[in-house]
Amino acid sequence: MPTMQKPSNTETKKAIRRYWDAHPISTDSVPHEPGTRESFEAIYAKWKETIDDRRMQFLADCRGKEVLEVGCGIGKDARFLTENGIDYTGLDYSFRTLQLAQKHLEFAGLRKRFVNGDATSLPFGDNRFGLVMSIGVLHHVPGTAEACREAMRVARPGGSVRIMFYNRHSYHYALVNYVVRPLIWLMLALPPLRALLRAGPEKLRQMFAVCKEDGFSRERVLAISADTSFAGQDNFIPHSGFYTEKEMRRLFDGMEEFRFFRGDLKYFPLTFLRKFAEARWGFFLTMTARKPDQEKAKSSETTDKHR
Ligand SMILES: C[S@@+](CC[C@H](N)C(=O)[O-])C[C@H]1O[C@@H](n2cnc3c(N)ncnc32)[C@H](O)[C@@H]1O
């Protein structure tokens, strides 16, 4: 096997933009041409089914604040927040995704404010937004720590951040890392076992096909497992990180009033334990935290100096 050189951050970033330009989030999940009214309406209708008390509470938290979404995708949250009167700005790195987001809000007859940019160097001044949200984005960015610092920088003192990462202490991670990955290894080593693929889900067949061509490092297998688009040649998210609550606290060091919740549990066999398991080992780990007030930050700086 040829030795593979680790790609540089710049190469990974280019690959990431190529990936999202080719596969704007959610567009694969409905049977309509991306960018058409039917496609947006079907995606939004599906997404709206997930609105629960927690999201309504989030909407209430956004009221009266200037909200920035980092990695806004095709504008599902943008539409929901804007149609509910929130002062919203969306940013995304992918040009095509951003064009779709613009079109989406145009079709919905809503005001649109979108910016192209990179989460690791946000094109905004310090202390600008009352709430900075980023859902399923910063773990795909090489330079996650930088991107977290940027989110904190542009949040106002007293404002908050809401971030969703993939959860390393999740059922998904355990299933993929300790069951699926060894299974793929076995099927690569012992071809007769590949008959098992016929009985497994489509996702397993896709993962096996990619791993057979391209190798199966832990990162690769986990990244493919988290990919929501159709798999194929050159078609998997180039970078996906999985984080624990402790690591997220560290990435957002300096913030206060941390809150965490977990959601999304696929392929879990024990239906009667579903709710219990999802709250503990759900795939999505969402964090909210508050940026300390300036006065408080200043007084603790002064105390530190006098120590
Ligand atoms: C999994 S999607 C999530 C989109 C949206 N938050 C949602 O929930 O539908 C990740 C998004 O992050 C964007 N993205 C990837 N890298 C980025 C970066 N460095 N800066 C800003 N956005 C980025 C992608 O273009 C894509 O739209």
35 domain-assigned? yes
Same domain, 245 and 119: yes
pLDDT at 199: 86
**What is the distance in A from the centroid of ligand 1 to the CA of 305?**
40
232 domain-assigned? no
Look at the chain and report how many structural domains it folds into: 2
Among 224, 256, 291, residue at a domain's last position: 224
Same domain, 89 and 182: no
96 domain-assigned? yes
pLDDT digits (tens, 9 = 90+) for 109-125: 999 999 999 999 999 99
Same domain, 63 and 204: no
**What is the distance in A from the centroid of ligand 1 to the CA of 149?**
17
Please report which confidence band the pLDDT of residue 261 belongs to, taking 50, 70 and 90 as the band edges.
very high
**What is the distance in A from the centroid of ligand 1 to the CA of 299?**
37
**What is the distance in A from the centroid of ligand 1 to the CA of 195?**
36
Same domain, 94 and 193: no
**What is the distance in A from the centroid of ligand 1 to the CA of 226?**
14
Domain that holds residue 193: 171-224
107 domain-assigned? yes
181 domain-assigned? yes
227 lines ligand 1 (CB under 6 A): no
**What is the rounded distance in angstroms from the CA atom of residue 304 to the CA atom of residue 307?**
5
150 domain-assigned? yes
Among 224, 257, 291, residue at a domain's last position: 224
Same domain, 194 and 275: no
Same domain, 200 and 259: no
93 domain-assigned? yes
Nearest CA residue ID for atom 17, ligand 1:
93
pLDDT at 3: 39
**Residue 268, domain CATH:** 3.40.50.150
Same domain, 105 and 244: yes
Same domain, 220 and 243: no
Same domain, 204 and 89: no
Same domain, 203 and 247: no
Nearest CA residue ID for atom 5, ligand 1:
73
* pTM (global) more than 0.75: yes
Q: What percent of the chain has pLDDT over 70?
A: 91
pLDDT at 230: 61
21 domain-assigned? yes
Position in ligand 1 atom list of the atom nearest CA 118: 20
Indicate the average pLDDT of the chain.
89
**What is the distance in A from the centroid of ligand 1 to the CA of 213?**
27
DSSP string, 111-156: ---EEE-BTTB-SS-TT-EEEEEEES-GGGSS-HHHHHHHHHHHEE
Same domain, 178 and 35: no
Q: Best substitution site from 21, 23, 93, 124 to test ligand 1's pocket, by max atoms within 8 Å of Cβ? A: 93
75 lines ligand 1 (CB under 6 A): no
pLDDT at 267: 81
Q: What percent of the chain has pLDDT over 90?
A: 66
